Structure 1
Amino acid sequence: MSKFHDMIDGYYRFRGNEWLEERERWTELASGQSPKVMVIACSDSRVDPATIFGSRPGEVFVVRNVAALVPPFETGGGRHGVSAALEFAVTVLQVEEVLVLGHGACGGVKAALSGDLKQAEPGHGGFVAAWIDLLDDAREKVIHEHGQGAEGQTALEQEGVKVSLANLMTFPFVQERVEAGKLRLHGAVFAIADGKLRVLQDDGHFEPA
């Protein structure tokens, strides 16, 4: 029996329980969404923002990618999935807050730290390597200060959040709203091992929520 079949079974449970309990909510959501928060999170199957924050349907607009990264603003060719989601959330949905959510034991960060993916194997596209090179500058700083062990992994997970927050401010529509007090940016890292959420403070340190 396939895992997809198990997912269909899960759908039946959802449709017969949670959906019925929230039927009014789903009817309301059918006419549109108005989330106040956007979360940029990792694709990792262990780190679901709705589960971590106990969010109800329609409350959070989420985009997920390898290592929860935001590229800098740029125009021209290419497929800018994260940038498109950001533009939609900020300019159309007019969210009031954006959270960059990193996490512990992140495979994308681990690959960035080790540099093992720099040379794509024959037949592979090297897409992950090209994506996580967004962390190259932070990687050099982290290796210099913390090495490439567990301490370096944790440090780069935190630095990755800071990189994404800095890149968010390169988008004109983000910068304008932040400076006008209409949009707030946040950073946090969720530790899978102990379940703790550490939030980025104004002084650049991460403290338990």
Structure 2
Amino acid sequence: MPEFSRLVEGYRRFRTTIYPAQRERFDQLALTGQKPELMVIACSDSRVDPAQVFDVNPGQIFVVRNVAALVPPYETTPGLHGVSAAVEFAVQVLGVKQIVVLGHGRCGGCRAALTGSLDGNAPGEGGFVANWISLLRPAGRAVGDALGTEGREAEQAMEQAAVKISIDNLRSFPFVAEKEAAGSLVLRGAHFAIADGELAVLDNASGIFAPA
């Protein structure tokens, strides 16, 4: 298929240009394993690649991506907890020193949480997404009451609120809260605007996002 063919072509460019330039790094990573100091929780959106946004090399960031860059609250009920497993591995095994929740502009998941456009849909018709972004329902109501559910101002407020919710939920993990209290782990929030390529960083004290 032409879509996969483009990936293979990209791999060939990688193999002949990037890989030789990074060969020493890849050899070292293969021998010693990964030891990133930073985890990034980002959206699955194809327009926002954390490695590209932050211009990092292989082995420097541990990344988990999902719809709207969400972290669910800590829970121990049976189930498949993919994000929780990634957080646990990053913090407890890799020993990352910082976790960055990276939201972004024009996020479809955040927009759906704001407008409720997928509420009531069946699995396969948006139901899985609706259930996932229900984590944002309280924030969606608050933003909707203050700014309405349409327009960039409301959408950006929703996107930034989602980052704050994920950071709050990270603190519900006992091992995250313990390390943050001890000063060995820092939680950060950021928002990348696709339209102009600008990154805003959350000030934890004021709760305000400001240009990086």
- Name the TM-score, length of structure 1 as normaliser: 0.97
| Aligned mate of 2:162, from 160, 178, 186 | 160
Alpha carbons 2:122, 2:128 under 8 Å: kept: no
> Please, which runs of 5 or more residues in structure 2 have no aligned partner?
none
Counting only pairs closer than 5 Å after superposition, residues 1-209 of structure 1 correspond to structure 2 as 1-31=1-31, 32-121=33-122, 124=125, 126-150=127-151, 151-201=153-203, 202-209=205-212
- Give deviations 1:29-58, integer Å, cap 9, x for gaps: 112000000000000000000000000000
Relative to 1, partners in 2 of residues 1:51 and 1:144: Cα closer, same or farther, differing over 3 Å? same
Instruction: Count residues with an aligned counterpart.
Output: 209
Alignment check: 8 A CA contact 2:100 2:189 kept: yes
Deviations 1:111-136 (A, max 9, x none): 11110111114754711010000001
Contact kept? 2:105, 2:195, Cα under 8 Å: yes
Tell me, in whole angstroms, the C-alpha distance in 2 between the residues paired with 1:19 and 1:132. 38
**CA offsets, 1:2-33, max 9 Å, x none?**
11011001101101111011111000111200
Identity over aligned pairs, percent: 57
Displacement over 6 Å in runs of 4+ = none
* Cα offset, 1:175, TM superposition: 0.2
Which 5+ residue runs of structure 1 have no aligned equivalent? none
Distance 1:66 1:122 in 2: 15
SS in structure 1 opposite 2:76?
coil
